[in-house]
Amino acid sequence: QFSVGLFHSHKHPELIIFGLRQEVGGYIINQVGASIAKGTKIEPDRFYDDYTNTGNYFKTVDPKHYEEYCGYARWLYRGSNFPMLQCVWPLKSGHYPWDPEYPAEGAQIQPLLTK
């Protein structure tokens, strides 16, 4: 799931999240988007505990992934000329995708789209 319009309306990177039930992922994106609309600026590579029970990071998404994952946003912006952050959450083990202990099956649930 991903946001569409945050960059257009608030000059803030769009958001994308993977691997959660649709209602959970949508809820998180909506909560972060509401916070952005009130003036919050999400910084990449910083830990946040405001939006998920486990805490999360936001990572800068490499635009080479936009075509595969963000078609509607690409339509709105007429290409890949917008920034995007991935909301990254830990598995129950507490590991994030960049941890050596992160299992290979985790990458299927939550691919990391960083540069």
Contact present, 113 and 65 (Cβ < 8 Å): yes
Q: pLDDT digit string (tens) for 64-114?
A: 999 999 988 999 999 999 999 999 999 988 999 999 999 988 888 999 999
User: What gap in Å lies between CA 29 and CA 89, rounded to an integer?
Assistant: 13
Token pair belonging to 93? 């083990």
Predicted pLDDT at 115 = 76
Predicted pLDDT at 99 = 94
Global pTM reads 0.93
> Which region among 15-29, 32-46, 99-113 has the lowest average model confidence (pLDDT)?
99-113
Predicted pLDDT at 22 = 94
